Structure 1
Amino acid sequence: MDRLKLHRNGPYLVMIPGLILLALFSIYPFLFLLKISFQKYSPIGKTKPFIGFDNYIHLFQDHNFWNAIKVTAIFVLSTVSLEFIIGLALAVILNQLRIGERIVQSLILIPIAMAPTVVGLMFRFMMNDQYGVLNYFAEIFGFSRTAWLSNLDFALPALIATDIWQWTPFMMIILLAGLKGISDEPYEAARIDGASAWQTFWYVTIPQLSKIIYIALLLRTIDSFRIYDTIYMMTKGGPINSTSTLSWIVYDKGFKFLEFGYGAAICVVLLIVVVTLLTLLLKKIDLFEVEKKS
């Protein structure tokens, strides 16, 4: 009888260590974050009074917060869309490559093997207005030197370009795996029907890749919202908050100015924004599943 009970409860017993870790490192921190977002919480203060929704009211009246919303939206939309377009192009090219495919893939994947702090530091040196390699080549081609990271017009595009350089290979490898999984039959049918290369790509390849595309967009969208390391190494949110994203002002308010309660409120709003976007993407994936079944 005891063995029968153990057999029935075995799966639940195996889950207990994982549930304990989930509670310690995910659920409890989130509940603590939610709690202090309603407090005037500071590590240097003796009292941590409950202030209700004051942090959230102040948040929506804060010009820096709305600026961070705008910068984050520009950054996420630009990086994810361009990484998808370039990554898809590279995936299609590599899928057609028959000689040296593994070597080319290995070379393209080098950026994602590097830490974001290293990439940020490398691009900061490359974009230096005095000794940066980009200005060196700019002068060779007759252009003047540019202070890429301290110029209001170029700082955010420089950050976007850095992210694209590092994470396009990630998008490419997911899409390439999807292309490898498409059978030859749809392409043979399209060839028999006399479809052009563009028609085959648009009406055969893209529909077959639809679920993979949304998964790739989902993963990169999550990661784009979390950018911090590269900003810290390259611009530190400047100049004049032109590269200050939501994740950056969480650090700025919470750890630089020790306004933990206010920083927690920003985290809660960021979480709501990300969860809403991810829910919409997941609904798209479910929609494609329903269409395929029908």
Structure 2
Amino acid sequence: MKKFRLQNSGPYLVMAPGMIILLLFSIYPLIFLLKISFQDYSPISAVKPFVGLDNYVHLFQDRSFWNALRITAIFVASTVVLEFAIGLGLAIILNRLTVGQRIYQSILLLPIAMAPTVVGLMFRFMMNDQYGIMNYFMELFGMSRVAWLSNTSLALPALIFTDIWQWTPFMMIILLAGLKGIPDEPYEAANIDGASAWQAFRYVTIPQLSKIIYIALLLRTIDSLRIYDTIYMMTKGGPINVTSTLSWIVYDKGFKFLEFGYGAAICIILLIIVVSLLTFVLKKLDLFEVEDRP
């Protein structure tokens, strides 16, 4: 074993600041979160007794948790699938443009330049049942006003629509970068073989984009799982908890009712879901495989 020498310490010194920041802002909070998930932890109580798995048992018996898990699954599945489909369509159109591509691209990217709180507030005003612009246009076409955010059947679709409006450009720009990286030769070979546009898309474009697609879907799924800002500005989890996601009930239980231990347990379950998704995608990308070296 080689002895540690000062002249060999350069890489460690360069890495040290980043590792210290990672330890302080990622690893320590995670350990603390795991610790309080096994406690009846409240900031207003000096005693924080260890309760073992009681928070987790209570969590799986709590109807609000299962409702939030169901709402989160619907929200994530709807937004990610629609954002991918629309984003891919826009990316293909932009990739084929020869004039004004950068201008259209800049315009389409405007929504992701806005803070989620601003977007939530903007759509809250637009969907207002009294003076919202969406109801104005509905009346203009002879339809009656709709209470978008106070109707239990429409509140979640309204939230999904808002998320799609803001984050579809994110999916679009990732897929557009992938499309620009595909060489022309496979398309030329497909054209010589007499492949139709659909066959070229299915057998050339999609396989070439597969890894980019996995990464884009993973990033949007993780981001959708932690949605909070837009919900706070638009619905605050209502009406009657129809827009109450896992991230929202963490805030609701932890900061409104000061049940920090219970909120931490929900965070751990959410973390397990995210890590499971990450592991699945990394395996699909073959990032866990180590090439054999002679």
Amino acid at match of 1:38: F
Map of 1:48 onto structure 2: 48
Map of 1:197 onto structure 2: 197
Amino acid at match of 2:182: I
Map of 2:157 onto structure 1: 157
Q: Secondary structure at the match of 1:150?
A: coil
Alpha-carbon offset, residue 282 of structure 1: 1.7
Q: Which runs of 5+ in 2 are unaligned?
A: none
CA distance in 2, matches of 1:83, 1:150: 25
CA distance in 1, matches of 2:20, 2:109: 36
Map of 1:14 onto structure 2: 14
Map of 2:98 onto structure 1: 98
Aligned-pair Cα RMSD in Å: 1.5
Alpha-carbon offset, residue 166 of structure 1: 0.2
Map of 2:115 onto structure 1: 115
CA distance in 2, matches of 1:106, 1:47: 55
Alignment of 1:1-294 (within 5 A): 5-286=5-286
Alpha-carbon offset, residue 274 of structure 1: 1.3
CA distance in 2, matches of 1:201, 1:269: 38
TM-score computed with the length of structure 1 as normaliser: 0.95
Amino acid at match of 1:8: N
CA distance in 2, matches of 1:7, 1:184: 49
Matched length: 287
Alpha-carbon offset, residue 75 of structure 1: 0.4
Alpha-carbon offset, residue 8 of structure 1: 2.0
CA distance in 2, matches of 1:253, 1:110: 35
Amino acid at match of 1:253: K
Q: Which runs of 5+ in 1 are unaligned?
A: none
Task: State the Cα deviation string for residues 189-211 of structure 1 (Å, max 9, x = none).
Answer: 01101111111111100100001
Q: Which moved more, 1:19-28 or 1:105-114?
A: 19-28
CA distance in 1, matches of 2:195, 2:269: 48
CA distance in 2, matches of 1:80, 1:39: 35
Q: Secondary structure at the match of 2:77?
A: helix
Identity within the alignment, % = 79
Alpha-carbon offset, residue 264 of structure 1: 0.4
Alpha-carbon offset, residue 5 of structure 1: 2.5
Alpha-carbon offset, residue 9 of structure 1: 2.1
Q: Which moved more, 1:223-232 or 1:135-144?
A: 135-144
CA distance in 2, matches of 1:71, 1:280: 22
Amino acid at match of 1:120: G
Task: State the Cα deviation string for residues 25-54 of structure 1 (Å, max 9, x = none).
Answer: 011100110111111111111211111111
Task: State the Cα deviation string for residues 255-276 of structure 1 (Å, max 9, x = none).
Answer: 0111101100100011011111
Task: State the Cα deviation string for residues 65-89 of structure 1 (Å, max 9, x = none).
Answer: 0000000000000000100000000
Amino acid at match of 1:198: W
TM-score computed with the length of structure 2 as normaliser: 0.95
Alpha-carbon offset, residue 139 of structure 1: 1.0
CA distance in 1, matches of 2:165, 2:280: 27
Alpha-carbon offset, residue 180 of structure 1: 0.4
Task: State the Cα deviation string for residues 99-141 of structure 1 (Å, max 9, x = none).
Answer: 1111000000000000000000000000000000111111111
Q: Secondary structure at the match of 1:130?
A: coil
Q: Specify which structure has the higher proportion of helix.
A: 1
CA distance in 1, matches of 2:127, 2:7: 62
Q: Secondary structure at the match of 2:5?
A: helix
Q: Which moved more, 1:145-154 or 1:13-22?
A: 13-22
Q: Which moved more, 1:40-49 or 1:110-119?
A: 40-49
Amino acid at match of 2:235: T
Alpha-carbon offset, residue 57 of structure 1: 0.6
Amino acid at match of 1:52: G
CA distance in 2, matches of 1:278, 1:80: 15
CA distance in 2, matches of 1:41, 1:158: 36
Amino acid at match of 1:102: R
